[in-house]
Structure 1
Amino acid sequence: MTIPGLIAPGALAPAAPSAPVGLRVLGLDLSLTSTGVCLPDGTTFRIKTRSKDGDRRLLVIRTAVRAALVDHRPDVAVIEDLPKHAMAAGLTAKVHGVVLCELLDAGVPYAYVVPATLKSYACDHGNADKARMAAAAYLAAGAEFADDKGGDQCDAWWLRAAGHDALGGPLFAMPQAQRDRLNKVEWPALSGQPYVRGAAACS
């Protein structure tokens, strides 16, 4: 898959935990300059765009997301929600609109996770920084991310993990108090897999 602006997949070492059969989750940390993506198999990459291309950057992001949907056929997408009271929210909203159109066209349900909830789930701290999020990913599953200065791939990885956890297919053990933070999210009911708040369990 060769797409202009697409950065090579990040390294996960060791290999990411395999997804439970029947549940394929796509993690998306959307940004106009560097969108983080975690595919259903745990592979991560960035969709990097150039500011000089203006709104045409939306086409690069749309094309990459469309390719991910066609090639990897996720059951659900988990998206980091827009930041509140942030000047960048307007620019990021453009990306959300384009990506939601692709998800709706593909019939892929989605859930939004606000940044504080994702950080609390991953690190038990709603203001955790990028370094702490990356350290938590390594401790949870030995995951590491190449070319991820902004933490976009790491956030997408955690979004995928959150989706698996909340929808009944956790990839690794997490403290119950942190897992309970996901109850704040409105998760979609998947075909044959209705979601019940608080019902997901990790053995």
Structure 2
Amino acid sequence: MTPRPLVVGLDLSLTSTGVAGEGWTDRIRTKLRGDERLRHLVGAVAPFVKAADLVVMEGPSYGHAALAGHEDLAGLRVLVRQFCYRQSIPYAVIPPSTLKLYATGYGKASKGEVRSAVADLYGVYTEGAARYDEADAYVAMAAGMAWLGYPLAAVPERNGKALAGCAWPTTPVAVAR
């Protein structure tokens, strides 16, 4: 039996980061600010990703109207990427519209539609304040599993074509288990 890869999905946020692996979701919340917040968030992400074969994180939403914290959020993404790089953990970035397309077949799907797709496709029900963050992280992880050849659910061809819109690692991903 071929070992299954450990893929971790991340929806990075300055206040409510969604984290997901096969069959589970979690969140990281903080009210810290500035560099202390960034240090805390990278430290909180690290235990989730340190053994991963692949990390898939949602990329930036350039069209998002609320640009408050834009610099810190971009910094957080870079810090997490650098953590992965230093630990030799391959990572991928999935743009928000591509994530939505993979989940729902529609690149402009609402947060609720993505959350519903996660429940319908994978049987994972995200609840509470971070439900949308966790659902996005789950889709990122599911896309990574599919890219590696371990799809968690059959998705329509239109959805599957979304995988071509991601920045996947250029080096082979080794399954450690």
> Does the alignment reach a TM-score above 0.5?
yes
2:12 matches 1:34: no
Q: CA deviation digits over 1:147-177, x for unaligned, max 9?
A: 2446100000000000011221101111112
- Which of 58, 61, 67 matches 1:83? 61
- For structure 2, list consecutive stretches of 5 or more residues without a partner in the other structure: none
Cα 1:149–1:31 change in 2 (3 A) is: closer
C-alpha separation in 1, matches of 2:49 and 2:104: 29
**Deviation >4 Å, runs of 4+:** none
Q: CA deviation digits over 1:4-62, x for unaligned, max 9?
A: xxxxxxxxxxxxxxxx72411110111111111113x43211110105x3331112111
C-alpha separation in 2, matches of 1:55 and 1:150: 26
Shift of residue 85 of structure 1? 4.3
Shift of residue 187 of structure 1? 1.7
Aligned counterpart, 1:135: 116
Name the structure, 1 or 2, with higher relative contact order (CA <8 Å, separation 6+): 2
Aligned counterpart, 1:197: none
- Which of 119, 123, 128 matches 1:147? 128
Aligned counterpart, 1:109: 90
RMSD: 1.9
- Which of 57, 62, 65 matches 2:37? 57
Cα 1:45–1:106 change in 2 (3 A) is: same
Secondary structure, in 3 states, of the residue corresponding to 1:26?
A: strand
Task: Indicate conservation of the 8 Å contact 1:28/1:79, yes or no.
Answer: yes
Secondary structure, in 3 states, of the residue corresponding to 2:79?
A: helix
Query: What is the TM-score of this pair, normalised by structure 1?
Result: 0.77
Secondary structure, in 3 states, of the residue corresponding to 1:84?
A: coil
Query: What is the TM-score of this pair, normalised by structure 2?
Result: 0.87
2:75 matches 1:97: no
Cα 1:46–1:192 change in 2 (3 A) is: closer
C-alpha separation in 1, matches of 2:75 and 2:131: 20
